A and B are shown apart, each in its own frame.
Chain A
Amino acid sequence: NAGVTQTPKFQVLKTGQSMTLQCAQDMNHNSMYWYRQDPGMGLRLIYYSASEGTTDKGEVPNGYNVSRLNKREFSLRLESAAPSQTSVYFCASSERQGVITGELFFGEGSRLTVL
């Protein structure tokens, strides 16, 4: 039981390049989330998917797109990377949307550097 798996773990991009961060969960959770964490700061919500087939913007969606490919997978795409997008990206899942359900399960993170 792997939980939440993110790939790649590390990536270096040049400004203007595109890439996709992949996330998969094997807990049959309905909701999935993408966060970014900058040095010394908390996590900020980029996009989330309350259920398969739906996606919504979080606090910092600009410069990103997402796809909820199926119930297991939720990808984050940077179409034209900028140095301001240098960060650690975390994917998370939960059984249902909302804090009331208690647990968000996080992946190990993907460290992205944009030069």
Chain B
Amino acid sequence: LAKTTQPISMDSYEGQEVNITCSHNNIATNDYITWYQQFPSQGPRFIIQGYKTKVTNEVASLFIPADRKSSTLSLPRVSLSDTAVYYCLVGSISGSARQLTFGSGTQLTVLP
């Protein structure tokens, strides 16, 4: 079971790029990396998923180095509305749903 480690909190200013790194040293060959965003009093929302190298969508980019022991979620030009908790998950279709456990996440606070 791949354990993930993220910073507890981060602060940024509006308009800046934010990078949140997740460590997953014992990631398995079949594991994918998924990031979620959670606002207060809401359920988490899927942001992005990747296996290796780089993935980009309309809201974020995910960078995964060759050894896959870490990953970095990049949020371009954040706004106040990006203040939320961000979770990194690691798992695969061949694994148990027990892997679908969220860590404590990273509280991102965007300041004006």
Contacts and interface: CB of A to CB of B under 8 A. Distances in A.
Contacts of A101: 93
B contact patch SS: loop
Contacts of A40: 104
B90 A90 contact: no
A35 B45 CA distance: 14
B89 interface: yes
Interface stretch (B15-23, B36-44, B64-72, B73-81): B36-44
Interface string A86-107: 0000101000111111111111
B43 A92 contact: yes
Interface residues of B, number: 30
A33 interface: yes
A17 to B, nearest CB: 24
Contact of B101 (A31, A59, A100, A103): A59
Nearest to A97: B97
26 contacts: A33-B97, A33-B100, A35-B102, A40-B104, A42-B87, A42-B104, A43-B87, A43-B101, A44-B102, A45-B100, A58-B97, A58-B100, A97-B97, A99-B31, A99-B32, A99-B34, A99-B90, A99-B91, A99-B93, A101-B93, A102-B49, A104-B44, A106-B43, A106-B44, A108-B42, A108-B43
A79 interface: no
A58 B94 contact: no
B43 A45 contact: no
Contacts of B105: 42
B95 A98 contact: yes
A103 to B, nearest CB: 4
Nearest to B6: A42
A95 B105 CA distance: 24
Given A98-B99, A99-B91, A104-B36, 9 more contacts: A43-B102, A44-B101, A45-B97, A45-B101, A98-B92, A98-B94, A99-B49, A99-B89, A100-B93
